[in-house]
Amino acid sequence: MKDKSAWAIEISELVKEYGSIRAVDHISFKIPFGVIFAFLGPNGAGKTTTVEMLECLRTPSSGTASVLGLNIAKDQNEIRKRIGVLPQEFNTFDRLTVRESLKYYAMMYEKARDVDELISSVDLVDKANTQYKNLSGGLKQRVGVAIALVNDPQIIFLDEPTEGLDPKARRGVWEIITKLRDEGKTVFLTTHYMEEAETLADIVAIILDGKIRAMDTTTNLINNHGCQTKLVVHGGGADAFEALRRWRGTELSDSDVIVPLRDKKDLTKIVDLLDQRQIAFDELEMKKPSLEDVFLDLTATNWEGVS
Amino acid sequence: MKLSRIYIDFISSLKIFFRGRSSFFWVLAFPIILMLIFGAIFSGGNVQYELAVQNKDGSDISFAFINAVNSTNAFKVRMVNASENADAYIKSNRISGMLIVPQGFGNQVQHNLALGATRPSTAVQMNPTTTSATNASALNATRVSSSSSQAQSNNTNATPAAVILKVDQSSTSAPVISGVLSSIANGFNSQLTGSTQIVGVENQQVLSSQFKYIDFFVPGIIGLTVLTTGVLGTVGTNTQYRNNGILRKLATTPLGKSEWIISKMLYQTVVIFISAALIIVVAKLVYNVTVVPNVVTLLLLFVGTICFTGIGMIIARFVKDEDAANAAASAVTFPMLFLAGTFIPLETMPDYLQTIAKFLPLTYLNYGLRDAMILGDTASALYNMAIVLIAGAIFFVIGSIITDWREGG
């Protein structure tokens, strides 16, 4: 089936409505094989609804979509055999051990990977005989990823895989995801962490109010949305703000002054001006544009207000 | 459908069950504790018991005796036509006590008085079943006769006049009914002879098999286990697995809804078999009960599991919040426990509650288990099982159809 399709996932004019609410609104995109695709958006944007339609958990109101060349409306049984899923807020049976849980899910499929080899691949050998309820949050997510891989799927859907994890555990999951791409798997990553998408993804799509607002490689998204490098004058205060406000877009944030740079010459001009007026400051910091800037630019929403 | 998927889910469910202390307690230990408590404290309450009375004699003395029974206020007397077949009446009306004043009772009393015998006696025959009045092996008797063997020997021509009491010994009221009637008989004798306390009570077992209240209570406790495991277990599992996302994860695998339901059914059945076996073993060790489980019992447990699992699936479908679902399940199970005669004899309830009981599957499961395990009345057990099966089929089919496995799950 994979050979017949050029795309791992193909979506065309997909719509999902709940009564009068349109959760997904005529979205269309294609994802090639072997990439990490990050699906970004705030809660309620339509991310999970879209993913659940691709996982054959929900029926589209209209439009079409295929996974590995298989139609999500007609080939559901075949799709389920060939995809791996880590649902949002993953959980499994509390009182089964890691090995028992993996065996349980392995027996759901006609062909499955060796359970011990899988345990080793997610670095859970020491915890193989520990009951799920006794694992830390990071280790639980590893179990979830291992379960998603138990049928050796060609596409893995990971819905908020690092939600609620500490930084160390998060990086552990990131390593596993990167390894999957190295093995040639296609990863469909749903997240609201900008850093996660920027670090891992080859392609990023931003969804808001059920519509795709942008989709491209991370670099292209940043370049194409006109985000600028910024200079932060830490501790510059009101004096620095007054001196630098002629640069369009300059902001005062607490005692820091943030100045968007139009070109490289701006940096020299600003330093000279601050020196000339003898304005004191703590330090200067160059801030490169990020995916978060793209997102804020597209949504005009304070990211802190979105979780 | 793949058997390997059903097998692994079934085995995993059992592992989860045996590793969970609370489920282990509520399903296996709690019914036993309940049985021990009820077994220890059971006795008739201070209530008015319904007593059917059939007067085949029609003499003044027979009416005087019935008036004496009526005047105690211990009984709500229901007069039965003299031509009625007593056993058939008991069976069809499911009453727990019937007093029969036989033809010739009045003449015999007069005869005894004329002979100088100062103590007409009441022979009280115990019938422990209302569903199988013809089950002879279940019969034993208590005879109320003269406490004075010397007086008896001095009046060899005097044949004691007797009334017959048939009682359902599965009822907590059985010992109370026979005890009160013995007292009434004593009082009646005293009135006739003008003296006091000239007769006593002699208990006499006339058949080998004797049943106690606990024998009849054990099937009720097993019925309770089937009900609570089926309804509360299903509601708990479905809502918990839905709310913590396990159902959503399972729905992304090839595991089908039918495979999931079948494995859960098998799991519930095995748990109930284990629970029933433990209840019987403990009851045997502690109370030396005479219950005899057989194939019909196992079938009844299986059919009951189907029925109550179906009800559980329906509740879980409509009440999705875990706490609310458990409350709804309790709201269904607990009234059913009491209304279906698990703890309280149905005949002590008002008529409208008895009518409600006729619509509860647990009523028929309890009857069926008692028929199968206590009375050995296979025909009646199968009849009750058929009713549970019909109700179970309806609930289970509806529950299976409406259980949301994917969309919105």
Do B220 and B152 have their domain in common?
no
Do B162 and B225 have their domain in common?
no
Say yes or no for a CB contact (<8 Å) between A88 and B409: no
Phi then psi dihedrals of residue A21, to 5 deg: -95, 130
Do B264 and B376 have their domain in common?
yes
Give the domain range for residue B262: 3-41+213-402
pTM of the model: 0.71
* Structural contact between residues A133 and B19, judged by C-beta atoms closer than 8 angstroms: no
pLDDT of amino acid A130: 96
Residue B33 within a domain: yes
A109 CB-near residues (< 8 Å, 6+ apart): A81, A150, A151, B253, B254
Do B379 and B270 have their domain in common?
yes
DSSP codes joined into one string, B101-123: E-TTHHHHHHHHHHHT------E
Least confident interval from B36-50, B85-99, B148-162: B148-162
Which of B148, B175, B204 is at the close of a domain?
Answer: B204
> B-chain residues within 8 Å CB-CB of A130?
none
Over residues B92-116, the pLDDT tens digits come to 776 777 888 888 888 877 777 776 6
Residue B236 within a domain: yes
Residue B8 within a domain: yes
CATH code, domain with B124: 3.40.1710
Which of B174, B204, B234 is at the close of a domain?
Answer: B204
Do B139 and B176 have their domain in common?
yes
**Could you give the 3-state DSSP secondary structure of residue B403?**
coil
> A-chain residues within 8 Å CB-CB of B239?
none
Do B198 and B302 have their domain in common?
no
Query: Which residues of chain A are modeled with pLDDT < 50?
Result: 1-3, 301-307
pLDDT more than 90, % of chain B: 22
In which order are the strands placed within the sheet that holds A83-86?
Answer: A83-86, A155-159, A186-191, A36-40, A203-208, A211-217
Residues shown for chain A = 307
* Structural contact between residues A98 and A135, judged by C-beta atoms closer than 8 angstroms: yes
Do B182 and B265 have their domain in common?
no
Residue B409 within a domain: no
Q: Which of A84, A77, A73 is nearest to A188 (CA)?
A: A84
Do B78 and B10 have their domain in common?
no
Classify the complex by whether its ipTM is higher than 0.90, answering yes or no.
no
The answer to whether residue A163 neighbours chain B at the CB level (below 8 Å) is: no
Do B265 and B339 have their domain in common?
yes
**How distant is the Cα of A172 from the closest Cα of chain B, in angstroms?**
22
Closest CB from B5, B16, B244 relative to A96: B16
Do B105 and B135 have their domain in common?
yes
Dist. CA A100–CA A40, nearest whole Å = 34
Identify the DSSP state of B138: G
Over residues B274-285, the pLDDT tens digits come to 999 999 999 888
Averaged confidence pLDDT in chain B: 76
Dist. CA A256–CA A233, nearest whole Å = 6
Residue B160 within a domain: yes
pLDDT of amino acid B41: 65
Do B230 and B171 have their domain in common?
no
**How distant is the Cα of A295 from the closest Cα of chain B, in angstroms?**
29
Do B76 and B195 have their domain in common?
yes
Residue B408 within a domain: no
The answer to whether residue B258 neighbours chain A at the CB level (below 8 Å) is: no
* Structural contact between residues B31 and B161, judged by C-beta atoms closer than 8 angstroms: no
Which of B178, B204, B230 is at the close of a domain?
Answer: B204
Say yes or no for a CB contact (<8 Å) between B19 and A77: no
Chain B segment 15-54 residues within 8 A of A by beta carbon are 15-16, 19-20
| CB-based burial label for A129 (10 Å; 0-12, 13-18, 19+) | exposed
**What is the chain B residue with the closest CA to A92?**
B246
> A-chain residues within 8 Å CB-CB of B5?
107-108
pLDDT of amino acid B360: 92
Dist. CA A60–CA A51, nearest whole Å = 11
pLDDT top residue among B206 and B257:
B257
Total domains in chain B come to 2
Over residues A116-168, the pLDDT tens digits come to 999 988 889 999 999 999 999 889 988 998 999 999 999 999 998 888 778 88
Say yes or no for a CB contact (<8 Å) between B253 and A108: yes
DSSP codes joined into one string, B12-29: HHHHHHHH-HHHHIIIII
**Could you give the 3-state DSSP secondary structure of residue B383?**
helix
Kindly state the average pLDDT of the residues B14-37: 82
The answer to whether residue A213 neighbours chain B at the CB level (below 8 Å) is: no
pLDDT of amino acid B385: 95
The answer to whether residue B349 neighbours chain A at the CB level (below 8 Å) is: no
pLDDT of amino acid B153: 38
The answer to whether residue B194 neighbours chain A at the CB level (below 8 Å) is: no
The answer to whether residue B248 neighbours chain A at the CB level (below 8 Å) is: yes
Q: Can you list the domains of chain A with their CATH numbers?
A: 2-224 (3.40.50.300), 230-288 (3.30.70)
Say yes or no for a CB contact (<8 Å) between B19 and A131: yes
**How distant is the Cα of A70 from the closest Cα of chain B, in angstroms?**
15
